[in-house]
């Protein structure tokens, strides 16, 4: 039975020709999974879901940086996510017997709950902590050892930390995939997946969008991740709206500059409003401020009200990774442009799509780079300044390979 692709990101001939995919039957069983069906020619020949073999073949073993999400991987992930939304019953046993470990060193509501719910909806089990003081970490156990232990019991490890680069460091020592659920003010790739899913769902395509990002752009990891991901799509321009003291960091602006992506900076929300297709509001990140008075001064700089929204276009999406702390008034919630609770729900489905792949990957023997030198980084909240055994790791642009600074 043939099936036209309902997925806006699958380019013509996409799955079969460009990515070298294999297929598996929609109702799959152990014998047809994982890689035996390499000769299937999608999408015309059978009712299948296709997936990017590159992803499964291990080139993406970890989701540590949002730069790991190429357009091709996004296409594959989003198409599976759409199928999961449409046919959730077909996935209920797809990861039975698999186990997810969730290590949350920092508070979380949506990310932690949604990963757990995602695993359960695939039939997998979960364990973990949301308060590291209840584990041997409080006895001084290193990150590398904690990961090795968690990975001994699990098939994928999700980690959130206030330390930047923690997920990258963890991935060096883990025999199973590591997913970054937020590392300090650095990145939050799975929030970005939830954001992209919501944009794609509402807009049909991710292209030719004027995206305003407002609030704490200095410490807001969701903003840092989102711009990197959106930069891969055609015709995206940015307007960054923040107090001067909370501007987008130079390393993020450099990323856009070197790719020729247009952006503007502003301190004013109201004047930006009429020009935007998307307004992505963010919380001022109190927990990252060293100076409480500085936070008090900046908190409340931007408040999105019904009144202010009158200046915006009728189809501008209002997004927020949540939690909000006064920057979007509850009166905005009933506006049909407000999609922040869609982001929450989509976050679970896209994490299901991710776990569906990762939980099935074979274990490896980790081989962290060997060096008699230790990594040095000038960023005080970089993992290299907390975990002294880490080997040096350089990013492609010469920055720190753990935190990008
Ligand atoms: N929940 C998001 C994060 O973990 C946004 C926020 O906390 O403001 O980064």
Alpha-carbon gap, residue 39 to 28, rounded angstroms: 16
d(CA 321, CA 341): 9
Q: How far apart are CA 111 and CA 79, in angstroms?
A: 21
Q: Is the shortest distance between the CB of 321 and ligand 1 below 6 Å?
A: yes
Burial class (CB in 10 A: 0-12, 13-18, 19+), 131: exposed
State the closest ligand 1 atom to the C-alpha of 283, by its place in the atom list counted from 1: 8
* Res 400: pLDDT: 93
Ligand 1 contact, 121 CB (< 6 A): no
Q: How far is the CA of 322 from the centre of ligand 1 (A)?
A: 6
Cα 105 to ligand 1 centroid, rounded to whole Å: 14
Q: Is the CB of 189 under 6 A from ligand 1?
A: no
306 close to 331: Cβ distance less than 8 angstroms? yes
Paired strand residues for 25: 48
Cis peptide before 323 (omega within 30 of 0): yes
User: Which element (helix H / strand E) includes 170?
Assistant: helix 166-173
pLDDT per position in the chain (405 positions), as tens?
A: 233 333 333 322 222 222 222 232 222 222 223 332 333 333 332 233 333 333 443 347 899 999 988 898 999 999 999 999 999 999 999 999 999 999 999 999 999 999 999 999 999 999 999 988 888 888 899 999 999 999 999 999 999 999 999 999 999 999 999 999 999 999 999 999 999 999 999 999 999 999 999 999 999 999 999 999 999 999 999 999 999 999 999 999 999 999 999 999 999 999 999 999 999 999 999 999 999 999 999 999 999 999 999 999 999 999 999 999 999 999 999 999 999 999 999 999 999 999 999 999 999 999 998 888 999 999 999 999 999 999 999 887 778 999 999
pTM metric for this prediction: 0.86
Contacts of 45 (CB under 8 A, 6+ apart): 2
The 10 Å Cβ neighbour count of residue 278 is: 24
Please report the pLDDT score of residue 312 as a whole number. 98
The whole-angstrom separation of Cα 248 and Cα 251 is 8
What pLDDT sits at residue 397? Answer: 75
Backbone angles phi, psi at 97, to 5 degrees: 90, -10
Say how many Å lie between the CA of residue 340 and the centre of ligand 1.
13
Q: Say yes or no: CB of residue 215 within 6 Å of ligand 1.
A: no
| Per-residue model confidence (pLDDT) at position 15 | 26
Q: Looking at ligand 1, which residue's alpha carbon is closest to its atom 2?
A: 321
Q: What is the CA radius of gyration of the chain?
A: 21
* Distance from the first to the final alpha carbon of the chain: 51
Question: Which of ligand 1's atoms lies nearest the C-alpha of 160?
Answer: 4
Could you tell me if 9 and 75 are in contact, meaning their C-beta atoms sit under 8 angstroms apart?
A: yes
Residue 99, helix vs strand vs coil: strand
Give residue 321 CA to ligand 1 midpoint distance, Å: 6
Please tell me whether residue 64 adopts helix, strand or coil conformation: coil
Tell me whether strands 263-266 and 125-129 are parallel, antiparallel or unpaired.
Answer: unpaired
Q: What residue ranges define each of the domains in the chain, with the CATH number in brackets?
A: 92-184+341-405 (3.40.50.1370), 201-337 (3.40.50.1370)
Question: How far, in Å, from the CA of 182 to the mean position of ligand 1?
Answer: 8
What angle (nearest 5°) sits at the alpha carbon of residue 349, between those of residues 346 and 350? 85
Q: How much is the pLDDT for 364?
A: 95
Ligand 1 pocket residue status of 239, Cβ below 6 Å: no
Site to probe by mutation for ligand 1, drawn from 113, 158, 283, 302 as the one with most ligand atoms within 8 Å of Cβ, is 283
The token duo for 218 is: 């200095």
Residue 278: φ, ψ to 5°: -135, 135
pLDDT in the model for residue 132? 87
52, burial (CB in 10 Å: exposed 0-12, middle 13-18, buried 19+): buried
What is the position in ligand 1's atom list of the atom closest to the CA of 216? 8
């Amino acid at each position: 039975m043939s099936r036209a692709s309902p997925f806006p990101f699958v380019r013509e001939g996409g799955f079969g020709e460009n990515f070298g995919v294999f297929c598996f039957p929609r109702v799959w069983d152990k014998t047809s999974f994982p890689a035996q069906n390499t000769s299937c020619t999608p999408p015309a020949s059978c009712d299948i879901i296709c997936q990017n073999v590159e992803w499964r073949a291990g080139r993406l073993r970890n989701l540590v940086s949002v730069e790991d999400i190429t357009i091709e991987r996004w296409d594959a992930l989003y198409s599976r996510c759409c199928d999961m939304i449409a046919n959730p019953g077909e996935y209920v046993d797809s990861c039975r017997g698999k186990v997810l470990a969730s290590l949350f060193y920092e508070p979380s509501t949506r990310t932690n709950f949604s990963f757990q719910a995602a695993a359960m909806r695939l039939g997998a089990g979960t364990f973990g902590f949301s308060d590291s003081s209840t584990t041997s970490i409080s006895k001084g156990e290193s990150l590398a050892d904690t990961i090795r232990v968690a990975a001994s019991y699990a098939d994928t490890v999700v980690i959130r930390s206030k330390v930047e680069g923690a997920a990258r460091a963890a991935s060096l020592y883990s025999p199973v995939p590591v997913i970054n659920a937020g590392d300090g003010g650095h990145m939050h790739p799975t929030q970005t997946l939830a954001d992209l899913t919501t944009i794609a769902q509402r807009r049909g395509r991710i292209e030719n969008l004027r995206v305003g990002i407002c609030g704490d752009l200095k410490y807001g990891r969701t903003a840092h991740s989102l711009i990197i991901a959106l930069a891969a799509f055609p015709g995206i321009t940015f307007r960054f709206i923040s107090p001067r003291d909370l501007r987008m960091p130079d390393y993020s602006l450099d990323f856009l500059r070197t790719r020729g992506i247009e952006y503007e900076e502003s301190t004013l929300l109201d004047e930006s409003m009429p020009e935007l297709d998307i307004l992505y509001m963010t919380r001022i990140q109190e927990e990252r401020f060293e100076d409480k008075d500085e936070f008090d001064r900046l908190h409340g700089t931007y408040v999105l009200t019904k009144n202010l929204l009158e200046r915006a276009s009728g189809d501008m999406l209002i997004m927020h990774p949540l939690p909000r702390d006064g920057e979007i008034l509850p009166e905005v919630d009933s506006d049909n442009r407000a999609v922040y609770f869609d982001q929450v729900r989509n976050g679970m489905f896209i994490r299901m799509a991710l776990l569906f792949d990762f939980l099935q990957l074979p274990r490896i023997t980790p081989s962290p780079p060997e060096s008699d030198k230790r990594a040095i980084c000038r960023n005080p909240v970089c993992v290299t300044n907390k975990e002294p055994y880490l080997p040096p790791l350089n990013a492609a642009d010469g920055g720190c390979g753990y935190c990008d600074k």
